[in-house]
Amino acid sequence: MATTDNNVAATASPSGQITAIAGMGAQAVSVTFTSDDSRPTSNLRLRNVPVEPPPGWSSDSNNFNCAAVGGGALRRLALTFAPAVPDSGTLTLGSGYINNAGIAKTGTVAIAYSAAKAPP
């Protein structure tokens, strides 16, 4: 729902649990950030990100910061899940931004993942 005090929404794609076979390639994941009413927000940044992401996760961006989101500007964070060993869990990314009313806000996106053992 759009508001006059807007929010940034983060959506992972593909949706649902990210699955892979350990040691057998990689799964690309994209997180898209946009405002809920197309009005701009500013200073989007990741926060509370683990220094060491869960095993198998990587990003092409070491320092994800965006001057603006909304007003026609979408921002994407590219991630890769390439597990070497079987594992499962949830990768949680926190974000912070200034909304169109000048209020500092935060949000999170949780990405469930699972890596199965490679067949013999």
Token pair 């935060």 in the structure block, residue: 106
In the prediction, which pLDDT does 13 show? 96
Please state the rounded mean pLDDT for residues 1-30.
88
Instruction: Indicate if the pLDDT at residue 67 is higher than 80.
Output: yes
How far is the C-alpha of 71 from the C-alpha of 105, rounded, in Å? Answer: 18
Pairing mode, strands 27-35 and 75-81: antiparallel
In the prediction, which pLDDT does 49 show? 63
Phi, psi at residue 5, to the nearest 5°?
Answer: -120, 80
Token pair 């892979």 in the structure block, residue: 20
Length of the chain: 120
Identify the structural domains of the chain with CATH numbers, from first to last: 8-116 (2.60.40.2910)
In the prediction, which pLDDT does 71 show? 72
Q: Is 36 exposed, middle or buried (0-12, 13-18, 19+ CB in 10 A)?
A: middle
Q: Which of 119, 112, 110 is nearest to 22 (CA)?
A: 119
pTM: 0.86
pLDDT category at 33 given cuts 50, 70, 90 is very high
How far is the C-alpha of 27 from the C-alpha of 82, rounded, in Å? Answer: 6
